[in-house]
Amino acid sequence: MPYSAEQAKILTQALPYIQQYAGKTIVIKYGGHAMVDEDLKKSVMGDVVLLRYVGMSPILVHGGGPEITEVMKKVGKEPSFVNGLRVTDSETMEIVEMVLAGKTNKSLVSLINNQGGRAVGLSGKDANLIVAEKSEPGGVDIGYVGQVAKINPGILATLVQEGYIPVISSVAIGPNGESFNMNADHIAGELVGAVGAVKLVMMTDVKGIYDHKDDPSTLRSVLTVSEAQEMIRAGKIDKGMIPKVEACVMALKGGVERAHIIDGSEPHSLLMEVFTDKGIGTMIEAG
């Protein structure tokens, strides 16, 4: 069979998935290693453009940890963390917002548009998309760190309807118009219900959830919510993975049937998740 015939056959194998998700919204949390390697970044954004062109409505959410730290160091500010959360004084918040909304966000927008998509970058301030309230985890004041108080998804509906791909940075607007630093995983999880998405894909640096921390050979393909919560309680899940698992749980409450944690550093892992039956990574489902 000549090459192009093989290609054509593979295209036809994508049809059931294209049909299944036609006109449906998919929330993709984009982060980790895939976000700092320029080639991977371009490739993932190309995959997002493909999803849009075959009829799905992807919405991208991103944070940007390493880039923030890098800029803070440039201006001579030492990052500090409490329980994995960045202590965010007013000066730090300014840097966080500049990096997320001005640098990371626009570079993703640019990569999508340059590959034929039409992205519009938003922060949670635009159109009051994400309204925050101050978060004091464990009663400790760590500054402008917030949690989602309200989502106003109108602007997303407007953009998606017109064929745009929204790219959302994890900054929110507070009750007095101030900026809040948000956990991007949580925003992705909350958005699912607000926009009526049918799928949540959390892109990260590891293959998924392992039964034994750090041992990829013990990857769990499927996990119920209660199993996941038990693993968190038992300390079997990495700190960094916990908000991803929490986002999946929020998404399941928000109406999706399955949420996915996949390895963004594997080329086209997003497409593999969407266009195959067995998918990749760890799927979290109700139960």
Query: Please, which of residues 244-273 interact with a copy of itself by CB under 8 A?
Result: 266-268, 271-272
Degrees to nearest 5, angle at CA 273 with 57 and 99: 60
Which 160-199 positions form the footprint of a copy of itself (CB under 8 A)? 162, 164, 171, 173, 176-179
- Cβ proximity to a copy of itself: between 69 and 115 the closer is 115
Least Cβ distance, residue 107 to a copy of itself (angstroms): 8
Amino acid (one-letter) located at 4 = S
Which 120-139 positions form the footprint of a copy of itself (CB under 8 A)? 120-123, 125-128
Q: According to CB under 8 A, which one of 27, 59, 60, 101 is a site residue for a copy of itself?
A: 101
Q: According to CB under 8 A, which one of 9, 140, 211, 213 is a site residue for a copy of itself?
A: 9
Residue 213 in tokens: 């921390």
The answer to whether residue 114 forms part of the interface with a copy of itself (CB under 8 A) is: yes
Q: Which residues contact 159 (CB under 8 A, 6 or more apart)?
A: 120, 165, 166
Q: Report CA-CA distances (Å) from 77 to 80, 149, 179, 204.
A: 9, 29, 19, 27
In whole angstroms, give the CA distance from residue 252 to residue 225: 9
The number of angstroms, rounded, from the C-alpha of 19 to the middle of its chain's C-alpha atoms is 24
The answer to whether residue 116 forms part of the interface with a copy of itself (CB under 8 A) is: yes
Which 16-75 positions form the footprint of a copy of itself (CB under 8 A)? 16, 18-19, 22, 46-47, 49-50, 53-55, 71, 74-75
Beta carbons of 31 and 66 less than 8 angstroms apart: no
For residue 81, the surrounding DSSP H or E stretch is strand 81-82
End-to-end CA distance of the chain: 45
| Helix count and strand count (H, E) for the chain | 10, 14
Q: According to CB under 8 A, which one of 25, 88, 92, 105 is a site residue for a copy of itself?
A: 105
- Cβ proximity to a copy of itself: between 111 and 251 the closer is 111
- Cβ proximity to a copy of itself: between 126 and 185 the closer is 126
Q: According to CB under 8 A, which one of 24, 33, 103, 258 is a site residue for a copy of itself?
A: 103
Binding residues for a copy of itself, total number by CB under 8 A: 74
Instruction: Name the nearest CA neighbour of 183 among 79, 282, 85.
Output: 85
Judged by CB under 8 A, the stretch of 14-22, 29-37, 207-215, 256-264 that binds a copy of itself is 14-22
Least Cβ distance, residue 225 to a copy of itself (angstroms): 26
